[in-house]
Structures are given as C-alpha cells and as structure tokens.
Structure 1
Amino acid sequence: MKTILIPLLLVTLVEAWTTEPLKVRPSPSSSTSLNMGLRTTVKRVRDSVLNKERSREDLKIGIAGFYDRSSKLWEDVWGEHMHHGYYIPENRTDHQQAQIDLIDEVLDWAGAKEAKSVVDVGCGIGGSSRHIARRYGATAKGITLSPYQANRGNELAKEQGLEDSCSFQVADALDMPFDDNSFDLVWSLESGEHMPDKQKFVNELYRVATPGGRVIIVTWCHRDLEKGESALAKKEEKLLARINRAYYLPRWCSVQDYVDLLEAKGAVGIKREDWSYIIAPFWRAVIKSSLNLKSVVGLSKSGFSTIRGAYAMLLMLRGFDRGLIKFGLITFTKPEEKKSEEE
C-alpha cells in the first residue's frame, strides 16, 4: 500500500502546485508571499488527499484548465467527439463511429425529428454541434468553460465549411448568455455532471428552450436510491469523491433527482433511460488506447491533472462495474405557451 500511496502523494503535491489555480503566487523577494504560497499548496494537497469537495469557483477554474490541457490529446487519439460511444453490438471496434452513432441514437430515442436552432451546453470542441447542424440543417451555438475548446471548435467549424451555422464561445451553463425561448433543441451531452447546482442547471436549460422545444440531457449519474435508503453507502460516496477530485466534479445526483426537478418545473413528456450497458465497452477502449506510444507521450506533455484524469478512468470503470455509476438519458419538452381567452 505504501509503495502506491507515496508516488500518488508526490503526484498530488506537484499537481496542486503546478495546475491548480493559486490565489497568490510566491515572489522570490517576498517571504510573506512565499509562506502564503506554501500554505495554499499544503491546503490543496490536503484537500486532494482527503478528496474534499471544491467550491463552484474552484470548479469553474479547474474545469477550464483541465480541458484546456487535455482536449488536444483527446482529439489526437479519439477525434472531435469527446464523449462515450454506442456499442451495439458490444464488440464494435470503430470507436469514432460509435461516438457519432451515439449522437444519432440519442436524438432518435428522444424523438427529435427536426431542429432549427440548437444550443450545445458543454460543447467540448463542437463535435456534437456540427453533427447535429448537418443532420437538421440547423444553426448551432456551443458553450464551454474552456477557451481552448471554444477556439478549436470555431477552427474546426471553419475547416468543415460550417462557420456560418456553428459558433462556440466561453460561457457558464448556469448563467447562459442567451435570451429566453431561444432554441428548439437544447442538447447537453456529458456536461451535467460538472454542474454544482443541478436546480439552476435545469432552470437554465428550461429557460432557453422555446415553448414546445425539446431538451436532452445525457449525463453520468449515480444509481437511484432504493426504497428505504436516504443516501448512498459510505464506500460508494468515497469512490465518487475520488473521481470528483480527478475530473473537477461536484457531488453526484441520480436520474430520479433530475426527474423530480423537471416535474416540479412542469416539464412535459419526461422520459428517462439507463444506457450504461450500451456504453460499457467505452472505458476499456479508452484505457487500451492510452497504452500506445502516441498516447503515453501526449499524456506526459499534458500535465499532472490530465495524468490523474487518466488514472481516474480505472475508478470510473470500477463504478460502472459495481452498478454505482449510471449513464442516464433524460428528455422532455417545454410546455407550449397558453393562449389567452381573448385570442
């Protein structure tokens, strides 16, 4: 145990110093600044070892930095789609096509037959946005906390001749820079898990959707609680907390938690499903792909937070295998506005 713990502590120490945002950077000429910097580093090491939950502001900064550093490596190895794949049959080997198929299968499952205006909430480098724009002949706007991802998304849109229909910007999904009733398709693929306030997240998705517009949320969740349970088991919470530190995630929720929030909002036609079995081969494929020379070299250049994220893939796999982590799908429509009696 000690032989594993010591290198992990060293990685945590270096990661805390080099990749976490520091409020104060020590100045060589200032002992006070140096002491403050050391205290900040020690605190972050302690928080990391104890898997302490981050504040919303620290999450925002950490998420942006994590994806700024890791997105190029992912694109080099896996292409422009930064999400799970659709594995039916489960022995598929064309993983990039499996990722594209996941988008189409989710849209079909949700009954999204057409769209004119789309927002991709947590867009990565825009793979889903561009695919959906092509499928429907729609315009798409994507938001991300990562400046690298937004810039790369716009570059790829231009390269693919989609600069007039697809655009990407840095924005917070909990405070979107869009008017009410702006999009007839609101798409969130594997970004909900990053949201520290699920109520506000749902409220924003609901707000920007047009009346009658469709909202689709695909996200990592923990299992629904069984009857008589008030919380997850301590060992389950511990595993999720370790994953949270690596991927800059807040506390998890269940699919049922989302359904409860949506029912309270008055959402129409709420539909949910668990696709954990469909995406199950994904993590093993990612882990296998990380063992080639190109991936190892890229990982070594991308920083300690990315390295720690790669290690956390094993934790994700463990969570899936135990039935703790679920790949949840939720869709609904925003009610049509009621016409006045005079109309």
Structure 2
Amino acid sequence: MTSTKFTDVETPSAFVPAPSSPYQDDIARYWDQEARPVNLRLGDVDGLYHHHYGVGEVDHAALGKVGDGDYEQRLIAELHRLESAQTGVLLDHLGDIGREDTLVDAGCGRGGSMVMAHQRFGCSVEGVTLSAKQADFVQQRSLDLGIEDRVRARVCNMLATPFESGTAAASWNNESSMYVDLDDLFAEHSRVLRTGGRYVTITGCWNPRYGQPSKWVSQINAHFECNIHSRREYLRAMADNRLVPTAVVDLTADTLPYWELRATSSLVTGIEEAFINSYKDGSFQYLLIAADRV
C-alpha cells in the first residue's frame, strides 16, 4: 500500500477558520455547546464517544430485569454496544485497508469511529469537524490512548479540507451529511480519495416514495438544525461526482430496536418518538451507501 502523510497539526483548534456561512457558524456553536448525557454517559462505558445511533438486536439477557439496582447501567452499556456495532458495520464496508493507509472521517464528532478504525486496521485516521471542542476532545483521547500520531482531528469545513488530492484510501460520513450540500460534499470526497478508494455513508434519508418529508422528518430537522436529504439525492450526487455505489443497505429495521430501547431510558432527549414513528410509517430510512471512486 502507498503511504500517505497528511499535514500534522499540534492542536486542532490552534487555528479556527472563519465559517464560510452563517449556517456553519450556527452548527459550530451547536456542537461546541452540546453535552447530552446520551452521548457522554454512553462513551464513558469504554472510552469510545460516538455521535450516531445503534444497530442490531437488543441483548435482553445482558439487560436483566427492569427494576434491578443496576438495570440503568446495563441499559446504557447495551445502547453503547449497539452504537459501536453500527461503526463496525461501516468499517466492514471500507474494503481492504492497510496499516500505511490514511482514512478521513468527515464530521468526526468526538472520534469514536476514528479510534475503532485505527484499532481494526492499524492505519492513520484524520477527522474534521466544525467544532473546536470536539476536535480538542479527539486530540485528548488520542493522547490518552497513545495513538496521537495516528488518530487526529482538526477544525475545518468538510467541504474544503486541507488534504492533498488522491491521498485517502477511504473516507466516510457517519450521520453528518445532513449538514451540507451533497454535491459539494461528494466533490470533496472524490477529490481526496485515490482512484479505487472507498466512500461510505450511514445516514437517515427521507423516502421519496412517501412523497415529501413527513412531519416526523421535519421534527428531526428542527431538533438537530439539519437538512435531511432523500435517498434519491444521495445517489444522484454520487453519480455526478465519480462515486459509483457498490452497496446500498437498508438498516431501518436494524436500528429500530436501539430507538425503542433508548425511549425507555433516562437519557431520552425528546426526539425518540419522531425517529420511531418515521421509521415505522416508511417516511424515513436508515441507509448505508458504499461507493468506489472511479
């Protein structure tokens, strides 16, 4: 495999570029201020801090009985297991990754997926986020784990990254593509990926067969200050930017158990009903799309 070395940064927030739009400024502020227990308490289980949802069947044996003294802690651990399982599904679709390769996580959050990617492949992982607090969090976790030379995050716009063209073996968006224009996003991934490189996204999409975004989808947009795209928009924008889908996997049924379990926990945020109802009525889908750069 060809070695790629991206520009080092001592601390990701040492230089914080000015947002290119007022909306980006809003998003940076949103995630700088975000400190929901549903993200932090789950990450405290094993030090992997995610900003996405889970997939897979709930292990009811591991949960035990409702009312047991440690039931809530078991529930938190189970939700976290399902979120890490989701990252595992994403990593399964990245293809053949070597230790000398570099991966890019666009919209990296607090870096849980980046750490898991390094642990699986032994490669370097570069993350980008608009949030200086998230980037600093990733850098501190990397230092704590002794992998600061392999897992790094910086503050920048995922639509205009500092990486050289054709240097990434693979890249992904894990529930972060709803904050940007898809044509601009996929143009940047196409630029950074080497020919034959793999792009993967896991995302919620509104279903064109429903007609228009449902009231539940509109509630999700308002809650997260985002703009959920349709499945059709993803595929069209990929085709326009030299990304050829190799897999489209509907994970909707796989994520419902996570949401139904989360709705019973003390970590509810008020958006659980919108996710559950939109998945059940077919207006919202949870998809993985993998595509090769040609």
Is TM (by shorter chain) over 0.5? yes
> Distance in 1 between the 2:24 and 2:56 partners?
32
> Distance in 1 between the 2:34 and 2:131 partners?
11
1:182 matched to which residue of 2?
167
Correspondences of 1:50-61 after superposition (within 5 Å)? 57-61=21-25
2:53 matched to which residue of 1?
84
2:37 matched to which residue of 1?
73
In the alignment, residue 214 of structure 1 is paired with which amino acid? R
CA contact (8 A) 2:176 2:203 kept: yes
- What per-residue deviation string (whole Å, max 9, x for no partner) do you get for residues 83-129 of structure 1? 11221367575222222222222322x25232410111111100000
CA contact (8 A) 1:218 1:330 kept: yes
Correspondences of 1:131-146 after superposition (within 5 Å)? 131-146=116-131
> Distance in 2 between the 1:67 and 1:194 partners?
12
CA contact (8 A) 1:145 1:171 kept: yes
- Report the CA distance between 1:316 and its aligned residue: 2.4
1:162 match: secondary structure: coil
The alpha-carbon distance between structure 1 residues 257 and 126, as it changes in their structure 2 partners (threshold 3 A), is same
1:265 pairs, out of 222, 237, 241, with 241
Across the aligned residues of Structure 1 and Structure 2, the Cα RMSD in angstroms comes to 2.2
Is 1:288 the counterpart of 2:264? The answer is: yes
- How high is the sequence identity, in percent, across the aligned residues? 23
More helix by share: 1
- What per-residue deviation string (whole Å, max 9, x for no partner) do you get for residues 269-296 of structure 1? 532111011111222333333x2xxx59
CA contact (8 A) 2:57 2:254 kept: yes
CA contact (8 A) 2:94 2:170 kept: no
2:195 pairs, out of 211, 224, 227, with 211
2:225 matched to which residue of 1?
248
With normalisation by structure 1, the TM-score equals: 0.68
The alpha-carbon distance between structure 1 residues 161 and 87, as it changes in their structure 2 partners (threshold 3 A), is same
- Report the CA distance between 1:68 and its aligned residue: 1.8
The alpha-carbon distance between structure 1 residues 253 and 135, as it changes in their structure 2 partners (threshold 3 A), is same
- Report the CA distance between 1:246 and its aligned residue: 1.6
With normalisation by structure 2, the TM-score equals: 0.78
CA contact (8 A) 2:201 2:290 kept: yes
2:139 match: secondary structure: helix
2:293 matched to which residue of 1?
334
- Report the CA distance between 1:173 and its aligned residue: 1.3
Larger radius of gyration: 1
> Distance in 2 between the 1:318 and 1:176 partners?
36
2:208 match: secondary structure: coil
Is 1:114 the counterpart of 2:97? The answer is: yes
> Distance in 1 between the 2:32 and 2:277 partners?
27
Correspondences of 1:35-50 after superposition (within 5 Å)? none
The alpha-carbon distance between structure 1 residues 167 and 200, as it changes in their structure 2 partners (threshold 3 A), is same
In the alignment, residue 280 of structure 1 is paired with which amino acid? L
Is 1:275 the counterpart of 2:251? The answer is: yes
Is there any run of 5+ residues in structure 1 with no aligned partner, and where?
1-55, 297-309, 336-343
Larger displacement relative to structure 2 (110-119 or 90-99): 90-99
The alpha-carbon distance between structure 1 residues 207 and 156, as it changes in their structure 2 partners (threshold 3 A), is same
